[in-house]
Amino acid sequence: MCGIVGYVGEKDAQEFLLQGLKRLEYRGYDSAGIATLNQEKQPTLLRAVGKIKNLEEKIKNHRTSDHLGIGHTRWATHGNPTENNAHPHQAGSIFLVHNGIIENYQDLKKQLTSHKFQSDTDTEVLAALIDSFYQAGSISLEDAVTQALKLVKGTFGIAVLSVLDPKHLVVARSGSPLVIGVGDQETLIASDASALVGHTKKAIYLNDGEIALVSKDHIEVKTLDLQPVSAQVEEILTDLSAIQKGGYDHFLLKEIMEQPTSLKETLRGRINQSEHFVHLGGPGLTPKELKSIHHLIMVGCGTAYYAAQTAAYLLEQFLPDVTIEPVIASEYRYRQAYIPDHSVALIISQSGETADTLACLREIKGQGIKTIGIVNAIGSTIAREVDGGTYVHAGPEISVASTKAFTSQVTALLMFGLTIAEVKGVNSRLLAPIIEEIAQLPDEIARILQSVNPLMSNLAHQYKDYQHAIYLGRDVNYPIALEGALKLKEISYIDANAYPTGELKHGPIALIDDRFFEVVILQSGFLFQKSLSGIQEVLARGGHVVVFTDTDFDLPVESVIKIDTNFTILTPILFNLLNQLFAYHMAVAKGNNVDQPRNLAKSVTVE
């Protein structure tokens, strides 16, 4: 979703802003712009629709040596992706970039009669509002911004410059993240710390309701009521290699292939294989609290929700007295759902910024229920607001489609469940094989990825021209089928839906014809024979069946990818690697933009 960068220092502001925006490209956007200011108080505003390279061309033709500026990648909400709607927006002396949504912008706009609006955006309204306060009297830029923000309903992360003040930027946040990078004779602004990597390791993460006045050598953080805040400087742990492609053609393939190492980070220090013991430090629940849990709500969107569903099937196998309720955040936030006593809510999010998930967190927390974050992005809003949390430590996920985060989320949820089971005294003979497989999972993933990746390109070429796909799976493999279908649709743009295999005959089987192919996740053991019957039903209707399996079987399907594994419990996580690689190779075969699929944003910070 939208990205913000800002610079005040001694170096070339255009260069930093451009590089920073490139770092934020992965979040998804449809236009971009920068505004810089020189010491003679002359601004340069450059904006372009489409990819950053279009903006880069404009910058080449309008090079400045300015040392202060702001930049933005916009993902259209109010108004089409046009140059006029792109940020920064100008009103009088004010230039503004904004992430979030100003909900009452239409009311505010009616009152701002002296400004001639150039765009359809809510952001320009805020720029005009700030300008109206700034013009009205002898007040500082910071005061003008706070006056304006007091009138605003909605969410914002903003960076503001005024042509009257070539030494300062003002930034503020409420519901949309902002990080201030502390450099040597320079201060950097970004909505996501990845834009700061390589420039500084020191950062201040603004909290909701805070504003900062920054110059190249000074940062002053206050509340929006202008009360001083003693801001904490934190370390940025990400290094450059984590946000580079590292020899792969796409971030997506890199992130799929690095799952053995990202998962090792998820497990590090948390699992004792020889003593069959899991220790998850972050949640901060006492053994008594863990023991009393009888209901787990797992909240997430998209892939994070499917991770919750996958984990729910696994957890209920060894937590007999706990009901597990995976919920879709965008739905749950508006439900009047009863939350029983002895509940804990697990808030699952890769980015830690997803608006719907965050809203659920606040709602549930407001009801006095303990909230535990299962979050990847360090320092993100959800990670900061939960009562306790477990970082999944999968490392930055740049490609829009979520892959390694899923594997780490499922595993972290599983470890949380095991922690509860241990305290509840669940028979260790039941838990030991699960812990064993978790401990071996990184190596097993490495083996499967190496053996299967070379097969997937051919498979993709065979199926890339189909218009529709149906994914089928039973039990834990049903959410795996859902995740497979999501991955395929979002990057290959093939219409893909998933059903529990047993549901086929209750409706979806009517669809089957030559426009469709069917991917069936077929696991040996429990429900194997029943899954075979499902495949037979599809074959009997002339279906084009692809089977992802861990066993041999005797049915005349079109294609089979068989993994060689001794796993039994976590095999569905291995099947999902096949889903990921298949979707990746399909997108490549179709010539799509793999890492930045159309219409999607990496971090969905608006409702």
Nearer to ligand F6R, 95 or 306 (CB): 306
Among residues 418, 535, 521, 409, the alpha carbon closest in space to that of 475 is found at: 521
Residue 2 falls in the annotated catalytic set: yes
Q: Between residues 6 and 302, which has the closer beta carbon with respect to ligand F6R?
A: 302
Tell me the pairing of strands 295-300 and 343-349.
Answer: parallel
Residue 410 C-beta: closest distance to ligand F6R, Å = 13
Q: What's the min distance (Å) between Cβ of 128 and ligand F6R?
A: 32
CB-based closest residue to ligand F6R: 302
Nearer to ligand F6R, 125 or 307 (CB): 307
**Residue tagged active-site, from 216, 424, 487, 602:** 602
Q: How far apart are CA 480 and CA 474, in angstroms?
A: 9
| Least distance (Å) between residue 50 CB and ligand F6R | 22
Q: What single string gives the DSSP state of each residue in 200-245?
A: -SEEEEPPTTEEEEEETTEEEEEETT--B--PPPEE----GGGGS-
Least spacing, CB of residue 212 vs ligand F6R, in Å: 25
SS (H, E, C) 403-462: CHHHHHHHHHHHHHHHHHHHHHCCCHHHHHHHHHHHHHHHHHHHHHHHHHHHHHHHHHHH
* Cβ nearer to ligand F6R, comparing 134 with 478: 478
CA 368 to chain centre: 26
Contact residues toward ligand F6R (CB under 6 A) are 301-304, 349-351, 354, 357, 401-402, 486, 490, 603-604
Rounded Cα–Cα distance for residues 262 and 528 (Å): 31
Q: How many residues does the chain have?
A: 607
Give the shortest CB-422-to-ligand F6R separation in angstroms: 27
In the complex, the smallest distance separating the C-beta of residue 24 from ligand F6R, rounded to whole angstroms, is: 15
Residues linked to residue 173 through DSSP beta bridges, in sequence order: 157, 210
Alpha helix stretches (DSSP H) within 273-340: 287-291, 302-315, 329-332
Assign 344 to helix, strand or coil. Answer: strand
Q: Does the active-site annotation cover 489?
A: no
User: Beta 165-174 vs 179-182: how paired, if at all?
Assistant: unpaired
SS3 326: strand
Got the DSSP string for 248-280? Answer: -SSHHHHHHHTHHHHHHHHHTTTEETTTTEE--
What is the set of active-site residues?
A: 2, 602
